Each structure stands twice: as C-alpha cells, then as structure tokens.
Amino acid sequence: MLYDPRRRAPASGHDFLGAISLGCLLENMWLMAESLGIAVHVVSGLAGGGTEREIKRILHIPSRRRIAFSVRLGYPKSPGRYLRVRREAGDFVHRNVY
C-alpha cells in the first residue's frame, strides 16, 4: 500500500485521517481475502530506511510515494486452527474508569 505524504485530507495537520483511511482500506482487503479463503499477512516493517528504498527501486515506485504497509496473500497449505491468541475483553476494556 502506497501513499503520497504531500496529499492530505483537508484540515488534517498530521494527516491522521489519511492514516485511518489506509487502515480502513486494509481491513476491507483483509475481509474480502478471508471470505475467498485467502490467508493474509500484513508486513509493516518495510516502511522507512534502506529496505523501503530497495523495494521502491526494484518496483520502480516514484520517490514521492511512501510504503505504508505491504500484504502477503496466499492460499493456506491446509485449513488449520486459527493460531492467534485472543484476549478476553475484560483484559483491555474499561467502562467509565481506567
């Protein structure tokens, strides 16, 4: 996923709304992929530094564009158990107090 940091949402000083939009886009891609049986792995460590420069060089990405994240997609070798450990809501939800 690429973005142009020069283009910002109106009245968004630090482009917070742009970051939210990228998150919404990622969520929609993820939901569609999962509905088709395609596994998703988000790779966020490519943004910034030498890795980003090398990827941009290989893919001929204009210098003004930044890599927000990349996504690896593929069909699982075998449908398996969901490996992510889910926390109980009570571990992180606070009602009216912190």
pLDDT of residue 97: 75
Characterize 44-59 residue by residue with b for buried, 16 or more Cβ atoms within 10 angstroms of its Cβ, and e for exposed: eeeeeeeeeeeebeee
Residue 44 belongs to a domain:
yes
Q: Is the pLDDT of residue 54 over 80?
A: yes
62: confidence class by pLDDT, cuts 50, 70, 90? very high
Domain assignment present for residue 62? The answer is yes
Q: What is the tally of structural domains in the chain? A: 1
> Which range of residues forms the domain containing residue 27?
2-91
18 pLDDT exceeds 80?
no
pLDDT-derived band at 73 (thresholds 50, 70, 90) equals very high
Q: Cα(31)–Cα(37) distance, rounded to whole angstroms?
A: 10
What value does the mean pLDDT of the chain take?
Answer: 81
The reply to whether 36 falls in a domain is yes
Phi, psi of 2 (to 5 degrees): -110, 155
Mean local confidence (pLDDT), 16-38: 87
